[in-house]
């Protein structure tokens, strides 16, 4: 049994971070490709959303941790 995580640049702040590729919050870029969002940026976005009376973006448990290799397609 093994574990997997992905390392990439945050779509909004451009910092490198690690995440579970199956659970990380993301946005679609102009080409429609999902781009990952780091925890710092998604937390900041959720503060703003709450202030505007909107529902926060969901953050799945384990989104910023390694996943079991069996979760990968």
40-56 per-position pLDDT tens digit: 999 999 999 999 999 99
Of the pLDDT bands very low, low, confident and very high (cuts 50, 70, 90), residue 71 is confident
Q: What are the respective helix, strand and coil percentages of the chain, to the nearest 5?
A: 20, 25, 55
> What's the burial of 39, exposed, middle or buried (CB within 10 Å: 0-12/13-18/19+)?
middle
Please give the pLDDT value at position 72.
84
Domain locations along the chain? 3-71
Q: What's the pLDDT score for residue 3?
A: 87
Q: How far is CA 1 from CA 6, 7, 25, 45, 63, in A?
A: 17, 20, 26, 36, 20
Average pLDDT value over all residues in the chain: 95
Kindly tell me if the per-residue pLDDT of 70 is higher than 90: no
**What is the distance between the alpha carbons of residues 45 and 27, in angstroms, rounded to a whole number?**
12
């Amino acid at each position: 049994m093994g574990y997997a995580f992905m390392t990439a640049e945050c779509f909004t702040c451009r910092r490198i971070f690690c995440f579970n590729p199956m659970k990380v919050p993301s946005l679609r870029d102009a080409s429609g490709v999902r781009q990952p969002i780091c925890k710092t940026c998604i937390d900041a976005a959720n503060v703003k959303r709450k202030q505007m009376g909107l529902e926060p973006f969901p953050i799945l448990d384990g989104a910023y941790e390694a996943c079991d290799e069996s979760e990968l397609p």
